[in-house]
Structure 1
Amino acid sequence: MLKDFTEKTIATEMVFKGKIIQVQVDQVKLPNGKVALRELVKHPGAVGIMAITPERKLVLVRQFRKPLEKTIFELPAGKLEEGEDPISCAQRELEEETGYQAETLKHVVSFYTSPGFANEILHLYQAEGLKKGQMKPDQDEFVERVEWSLDECLARIASGDICDAKTIAAIYLWQVQEMKAQ
């Protein structure tokens, strides 16, 4: 039988509440009866879209990421709006950031991005039946669409140009799909 490792929240202090995240410090009672502090980031969730063109190229966006102080390549992705269905968010973000529309979006997997301190869940979708259109980025969003083959993506992971978890996971998933198809 598995032990219960549940931590009971005794008190919560809201430290910051912004447009995207909120930060709080919880005082918790540990399974052994001792008390500890937990710093938590609350996030509404997000989506990532694995869009592969008929030419077998992955659609990525190149954009500057302030927390990293550099420009990186990543899947089109975005934050869920309050009450928004993840598939609707995926459709919206794919078109805004890449100009592509998808006939269908298939849910692949949902995962927590950093469960040690954040509750953000990311829903990964695979876009099929792509139709190219016009990009419509948000006013404060500056992105460039790129399209790379699987080999190019793997080389970009090795070089460090692709360095975020959702994109790396999607590329390795694509690699597995390609191996199964052979």
Structure 2
Amino acid sequence: MEKELFNQFGWELTMEEASLPDGRKKKLVRVHRCDSVHILAFDKDCNVLLLREFRPFYGKYIWMLPSGRVDKENDIETAAQRELQEETGFRSKSLTHYCTTQHSESMNFANHIFIAKDLTEDPLKQDDHELIEVHAMPLEEAIEKVLSSPVIHTASAFALLRYTHEHP
């Protein structure tokens, strides 16, 4: 059973009932929205492209990977390439899906993480409402910046830490 509570501006809020293994029912409110993409981009010197972006509701700049919603196209790879171009000015000739994460049971949208290599300059116009600085830095420094940010961008922290764990 699903009951819609709110549906505007790309966000939907529903009350849903789920069955537990023992037969009991659990009611929960779920948030639905389009998925997001996050790009771990490496330049020719193996530096990570990291953004320092102003987030108005935090009133601060935070460090994060190039990221954005899959709301202008249906394909996550196309969305990742677009976000990379809009936010860094580069296109990747080697864009690979790395992993997908979920926020939580009640937040019904996914974070698709990509690895981008073989970058060439090919900028797209940034969104008018974004204040972004692009910085290239070693992986270890990128991790330090993201983890010491005043507000930690969870998908960026996860992507950087997982990549470091799998590529020591």
Among candidates 26, 35, 38, match of residue 16 of structure 2: 26
Q: Among the aligned pairs, what percent are the same residue? A: 24
Within 5 Å, which residues of 2 pair with 1:1-182? 10=1, 12-28=2-18, 30-66=20-56, 68-81=58-71, 84-112=74-102, 114-134=103-123, 136-161=125-150, 163-176=152-165, 178-179=167-168
User: How many residues get paired?
Assistant: 168
TM-score by length of 2: 0.85
CA contact (8 A) 2:97 2:113 kept: yes
Q: Deviations over 1:65-101 (max 9, x none)?
A: 3554432111111111266111111111100111011
Larger Rg: 1
SS in 1 for 2:104: coil
Scaled by the length of structure 1, the TM-score of the pair is: 0.79
CA RMSD of aligned residues (A): 2.4
Gaps of 5+ in 2: none
Higher relative contact order, chain-length normalized (CA < 8 Å, sep 6+):
2
| Paired residues of 2:54 and 2:130 also in contact (CA < 8 A) | no
Structure 1: where are the runs of 5+ without partners?
1-9
